[in-house]
Amino acid sequence: MALTVRTRDIPKIPGAVKWYRVSAYITGVLLLALVIEVIIKYTPLQLEMQLGNGPFFVPNGTAGEAPGTFNLSIAILIAHGWLYVLYLFTDFRLWSIMRWRPTRFLLIALGGIIPFMSFVVEHRMQKRAMDTYHELTAAQQREKEAAR
């Protein structure tokens, strides 16, 4: 038997969806930047990205070494790692409020590590959660009107 959203959790759905969507987009964009970084670093190009004085693309192992430069390749890697943790937290919050199956939690979690998947999963889960929210609020409204 499928679990349903608890009555006390219905008002929490829009906020949980909003934070999940924000974290999904941020994680997805950083994952795409990470894919680009890996491609240019581990293919025959052998380049890294840096910000500051000098060129944007530099030979592998030299990013951020010159004065006034910042190793963007490492920053992307670190940012994606930490923001993926935030993504997992928002995934867990939405999943627990909606009381979905455990496999849905895992599917959403995979969205942060498979390129482009976070955008697809975000769209589907957001739609599913908000459809459920609108159904539940409509049912509550009908109950209130029937009680009058």
Q: What H or E segment, with its residue span, contains residue 58? A: strand 57-59
Q: Are 109 and 91 in contact (CB under 8 A)?
A: yes
Asked if pLDDT for residue 56 goes beyond 80, the answer is: yes
Burial class (CB in 10 A: 0-12, 13-18, 19+), 30: buried
78 band by pLDDT with thresholds 50, 70 and 90: very high
Tell me the whole-structure pTM to 2 decimals: 0.87
148 band by pLDDT with thresholds 50, 70 and 90: confident
Q: Each residue of 81-107: pLDDT tens digit?
A: 999 999 999 999 999 999 999 999 999
Q: Which residues pair with 9 in a beta bridge?
A: none
CA distance 40 to 146: 63
